[in-house]
């Protein structure tokens, strides 16, 4: 994994420093657009634009932007296109051609990370949360979601990281390497049996390292940080995130219903 490859979206805000520099748009690019790609812009796709222009959705270092190719295909302009009424013609295109595909990449990255299942695997609502074994707010979140977990309405997937204390990586590895990670995490977070750092196989230790890398790549700084999908007015799924222990209203928003 390279740093800054993924985007993590909160509402309509793209977090700083999350987008990589590998071109994901495979078609041949006109020379001016290719030149910008060679300078580090990631080109995500193209779209129709008025006035004979051709639009391209792009991003660099966490900033999304539109590139407009002139009709002669010899020049490119980066900026916001406005119509005669002062309407922004760029924002919706960026949302469709940059933010949405980056969110899809992010969700795939979360799914491919190393996590511990908490709740019914068939529960309709899936939430990914970065959990440090030494994080008191992670434990608070674990307790807060019990009603939904026990009712089979939500599954929490704990992406185990070790960032808060010197023994956090060892504790995270011990949880991931346990004979029954779900039961061991349950005992730890419930306070019945605190996990102790212990030596694990290189594979398990690398899983913790990979989770830590993903945490950094997403530009995150707090545990728990939880990611969930929300449905927009047009029926598409987008990602939202909550850093830290959510308020009661945000918890309900994240889970999608009142407590059963």
Along the chain (260 residues), what's the average pLDDT of each consecutive run of 10 residues? 40 35 60 93 91 92 88 94 94 87 90 97 96 97 97 97 97 97 97 92 97 93 94 80 94 91
- What is the model's pTM? 0.81
pLDDT at 9: 44
Contact 32, 42 (CB under 8 A): no
Return mean pLDDT, the chain.
88
The full set of domains in the chain, from first to last, is: 9-102 (3.10.450.70), 113-255 (3.40.30.10)
pLDDT at 4: 39
């Amino acid at each position: 994994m390279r740093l800054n490859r993924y985007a993590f979206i909160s509402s309509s805000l793209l977090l700083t420093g999350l987008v990589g520099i590998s071109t994901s748009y495979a078609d041949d690019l006109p020379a001016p657009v290719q030149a910008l790609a060679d300078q580090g812009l990631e080109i995500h796709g193209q779209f129709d634009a008025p006035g004979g222009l051709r639009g391209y959705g792009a991003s660099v270092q966490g900033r999304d932007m539109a590139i407009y190719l002139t009709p002669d295909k010899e020049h490119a302009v980066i900026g916001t296109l406005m119509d005669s009424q002062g309407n922004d013609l760029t924002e919706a295109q960026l949302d469709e051609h940059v933010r949405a595909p980056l969110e899809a990449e992010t969700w795939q990255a979360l799914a491919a990370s190393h996590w511990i299942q908490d709740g019914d695997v068939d529960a309709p609502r899936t939430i990914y949360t970065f959990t440090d074994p030494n994080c008191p707010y992670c434990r608070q979140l674990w307790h807060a979601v019990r009603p939904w977990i026990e009712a089979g309405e939500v599954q929490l997937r704990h992406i185990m990281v070790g960032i808060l204390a010197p023994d956090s990586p060892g504790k995270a590895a011990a949880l991931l390497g346990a004979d029954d990670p779900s039961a061991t995490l349950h005992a730890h977070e419930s306070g019945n049996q605190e996990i102790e750092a212990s030596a694990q196989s290189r594979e398990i230790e690398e899983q913790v390292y990979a989770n830590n890398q993903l945490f950094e790549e997403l530009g995150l700084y707090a545990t728990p940080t939880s990611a969930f999908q929300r449905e927009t007015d047009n029926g598409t799924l987008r990602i939202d995130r909550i850093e830290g222990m959510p308020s009661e209203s945000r918890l309900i928003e994240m889970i999608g219903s009142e407590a059963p």
